Amino acid sequence: MPIPSVALSQLQNAQQIAGASKNNAAQTDKAGQAFGSALNGALNSLSQMQASSDSAIQQLAAGENVDLHQVMIGAEQTDIAFRVAISMRDKLVEAYHEVMRMQV
């Protein structure tokens, strides 16, 4: 007599676990997309910063009326942003290698 209730209880637990698994997969997918879009936005911002810095340097080299201080500040900001991006890439690659070394 208690056997059917245990079987029913186990079936309900299995259904809840399956539903939670689907929810976790959907949340993981959303988090992955959010991370990817954030990373893409940061790379686009870096690219725009580099293009504007290159443009300012070319204007200065062409002899146009450009403030030298602003050109140097822009170049240094671009350099710092590029170094941060390289450091982030290195940390991501290191984390990937660490995950791949894990034994399941």
- Tell me how many domains the chain contains: 1
Sorting pLDDT into bands at 50, 70 and 90, what band is 1? very low
How many angstroms separate the CA atoms of 54 and 82, rounded? 14
Mean pLDDT of 75-103: 94
The SS3 call for residue 102 is coil
Say if residues 52 and 74 touch (Cβ distance below 8 Å): yes
Closest C-alpha to 52, from 38, 69, 70? 70
- CB-based contacts of 64: which residues, under 8 Å, 6+ apart? none
20 or 72, higher pLDDT: 72
How many angstroms separate the CA atoms of 66 and 51, rounded? 16
The pLDDT tens digits for 8-48 are 555 566 666 666 556 666 677 787 788 889 889 999 999 99
- Domain hosting residue 36, numbered range: 2-101
